[in-house]
């Protein structure tokens, strides 16, 4: 049973590691488009659009940073579980 869970967790990790760069790029591009479109909105709506756009861009950058450092994070966290 434990081996099956390990394989499942490994498959999920591989899937997320593979899809994270795509999600990151999509968020950054959509954030840029939304920010550009916000400039065409009236002043009352512009702030909401800009806030959403900046959130998407920052979210894309955070996902890219985590995906880029995923192997380092995994190695460090695995080392924490080893007995001294």
Nearest to 55 by CA among 76, 75, 38: 38
- What pLDDT does 80 receive? 77
Rounded Cα distance, 19 and 31, in Å: 18
Does some domain include residue 12? no
Does some domain include residue 60? yes
Does some domain include residue 6? no
Six token digits for residue 7: 């394989």
Kindly state the greatest CA–CA separation across the chain. 62
Does some domain include residue 14? no
Does some domain include residue 10? no
- What pLDDT does 73 receive? 82
Q: What domain count does the chain have?
A: 1
Domain that holds residue 60: 19-80
The ranges of the chain with pLDDT < 50 are: none
- What pLDDT does 45 receive? 92
- What pLDDT does 84 receive? 66
Does some domain include residue 5? no
Q: Which residues contact 55 (CB under 8 A, 6 or more apart)?
A: 31
For 46, list phi and psi in degrees, rounded to 5. -60, -40
């Amino acid at each position: 049973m434990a081996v099956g869970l390990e394989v499942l967790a490994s498959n999920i990790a591989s899937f997320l590691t593979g899809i994270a760069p795509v999600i990151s790029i999509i968020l950054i591009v959509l954030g840029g488009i939304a920010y550009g479109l916000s400039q065409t909105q009236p002043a009352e709506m512009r702030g909401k659009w800009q806030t959403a756009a900046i959130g998407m861009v920052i979210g894309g950058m955070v996902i890219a940073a985590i995906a880029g450092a995923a192997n380092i994070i995994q190695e460090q966290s695995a080392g924490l579980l080893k007995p001294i």
